[in-house]
């Protein structure tokens, strides 16, 4: 595969030049927010921030953080900086509790957004020969429309199938010669498994799928390998990251080297902080990602705390791009389970499970409280249900999985092996954790 670069000027920019551009944009953003958003104006006054005080990029540290609660508290439009007549699109995030967060885009924002996504789609190998099914739910979620416009921008043929309806998805894939898919890793896996189940009637050779532009939920490299093997052939998947508060997809994504997710740094200024103290960490350290969207007009976001944990590498990539790369998301600060004092991320369990051939890559973590102690049950699905009747083998498998997970987490857990296909499948983001602590 050839290394396509959508916007060479920006993606291969020299660092000093990039930093000059970022500083210029930051300064004008601070001025813009001060003049147009009451919320920021008040915060700047309290913290003594003004555009004149931003003389170097490190002066960003004077600006207070923005959080999801700030958006919720100002629901629905309190942080918008332009009148509604200038907004051309609204999206909202799928918050499970309280008010959702509403995000607004001007036409300029939509143009920037589609360019950001186009760069990442191109980095993943998409071009005008790509026929791509978008299996994200169309609607208030930013994933589908974000990738839709970005992929059209690279000249791909977009098939907006939306999420669910697996039978139809597979039929279109075969009949349209679809060679790329946009989905969450878990749905991409489910589609591959469903295709294999129907292989007698529709052999796998009928699928032309080569590229997966995956994202919107965490997954380990082991999970990716598992997905690639299930599709077979030369199926190749990249990881793509973003969040609705910062446009949606398009913030960062992998190139063909798959050695970190390239950040569109001319638009997104990233920092990594200690989530407990708020202290900014040295480059390369692991912590919570904080992002300033340098070019957003409708809903400017300054130092937004993503709650996502990663680290950033500033070395140029072998692909030729000079933009910094973030490590695959390790977990979320609010998705991190604290079990008897030990931090546990679902991705750690996932990496221990994949590679065990007797089980499927579908799993669930169930957390309960017993007395004062929390317990973790890892539920895993067997591929062959008849194993449930062979007690000796079942027990040996359970022990093997238990030891693999314990070696990574360092705490005691229980492993439950369950019937094939009994763990819920998701067409959007998978829900891996069932927290029953409040019910115990
Ligand atoms: O999920 C935007 C998106 C759509 C990104 C499609 C990529 C592809 P939200 O629904 O606001 O936006 O959810 C954002 O999802 O803070 C992360 O915790 C998680 N997330 C998104 N992408 C990844 C990823 C979209 N590649 C939240 N790896 C973020 C891990 C991800 N987590």
Tokens (6 digits) for 129: 């020969």
pLDDT given for residue 252 in this prediction:
98
> Does residue 2 have a cis bond before it (omega within 30 degrees)?
no
Is any ligand 1 atom within 6 A of the Cβ of residue 252? Answer: no
Q: Which of 244, 12, 266 is nearest to 139 (CA)?
A: 244
pLDDT given for residue 1 in this prediction:
44
CA 100/CA 93 separation, integer angstroms: 6
Entry pTM: 0.92
Best residue among 121, 138, 215 to mutate for probing ligand 1's pocket (most ligand atoms within 8 Å of CB) is: 215
For 95-125, what is each residue's pLDDT tens digit? 656 788 999 999 999 999 999 999 999 999 9
- How remote is the CA of residue 201 from the centroid of ligand 1, in Å? 35
- How remote is the CA of residue 368 from the centroid of ligand 1, in Å? 27
Is any ligand 1 atom within 6 A of the Cβ of residue 271? Answer: no
Angle at 114 (CA atoms; ends 108, 119), nearest 5 degrees: 130
**Below-50 pLDDT ranges, the chain:** 1
For ligand 1, atom 21, the nearest C-alpha belongs to 216
Is any ligand 1 atom within 6 A of the Cβ of residue 242? Answer: yes
For ligand 1, atom 6, the nearest C-alpha belongs to 143
- How remote is the CA of residue 216 from the centroid of ligand 1, in Å? 3
């Amino acid at each position: 595969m050839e290394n396509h670069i959508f916007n060479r000027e920006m993606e291969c920019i020299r660092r000093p030049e990039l930093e000059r551009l970022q500083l210029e944009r930051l300064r004008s953003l601070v001025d813009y927010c001060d003049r147009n958003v009451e919320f920021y104006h008040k915060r700047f006054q309290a913290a003594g921030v003004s555009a004149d005080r931003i003389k170097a990029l490190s002066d960003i540290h004077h600006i207070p953080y923005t959080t999801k609660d700030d958006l919720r508290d100002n629901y629905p439009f309190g942080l918008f900086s332009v009148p509604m007549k200038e907004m051309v699109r609204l999206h909202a995030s799928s918050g499970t509790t309280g008010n959702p967060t509403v995000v607004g885009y001007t036409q300029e924002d939509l143009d920037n957004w589609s360019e950001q996504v186009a760069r990442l789609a191109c980095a993943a190998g998409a071009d005008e020969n790509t026929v791509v099914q978008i299996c994200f739910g169309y609607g208030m979620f930013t994933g589908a429309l974000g990738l839709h416009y970005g992929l059209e921008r690279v000249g791909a043929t977009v098939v907006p199938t939306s999420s669910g309806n697996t039978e139809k998805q597979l039929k279109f894939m075969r009949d349209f010669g679809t060679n790329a898919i946009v989905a969450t890793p878990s749905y991409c896996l489910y589609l591959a498994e469903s295709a294999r189940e129907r292989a007698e009637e529709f052999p796998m050779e009928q699928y032309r799928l080569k590229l997966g532009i995956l994202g919107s939920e965490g997954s380990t490299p082991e999970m990716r390998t598992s997905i690639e093997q299930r599709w077979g052939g030369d199926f190749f998947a990249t990881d793509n990251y973003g969040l609705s508060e910062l446009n949606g997809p398009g913030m960062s994504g992998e190139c063909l080297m798959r050695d970190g997710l390239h950040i569109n740094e001319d638009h997104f200024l990233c920092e990594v902080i200690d989530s407990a103290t708020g202290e900014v960490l040295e480059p390369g350290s692991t912590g919570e990602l904080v992002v300033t969207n340098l070019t957003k007009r409708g809903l400017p976001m300054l130092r937004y705390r993503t709650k996502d944990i990663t680290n950033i590498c500033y070395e140029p990539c072998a692909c030729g791009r000079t933009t910094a790369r973030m490590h695959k998301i390790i977990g979320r600060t609010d998705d991190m389970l604290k079990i008897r004092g030990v931090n546990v991320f679902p991705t750690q369990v996932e990496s221990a499970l994949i590679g065990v051939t007797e089980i499927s890559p579908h799993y669930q973590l169930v957390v309960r409280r017993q007395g004062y102690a929390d317990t973790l049950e890892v539920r895993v699905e067997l591929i062959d249900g008849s194993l449930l009747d062979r007690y000796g083998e079942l027990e040996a498998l359970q022990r093997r999985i238990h030891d693999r997970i314990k070696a990574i987490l360092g705490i005691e857990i229980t492993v439950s092996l369950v019937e094939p296909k009994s763990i819920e499948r998701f067409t959007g983001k998978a829900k891996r954790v069932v927290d029953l602590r409040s019910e115990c």
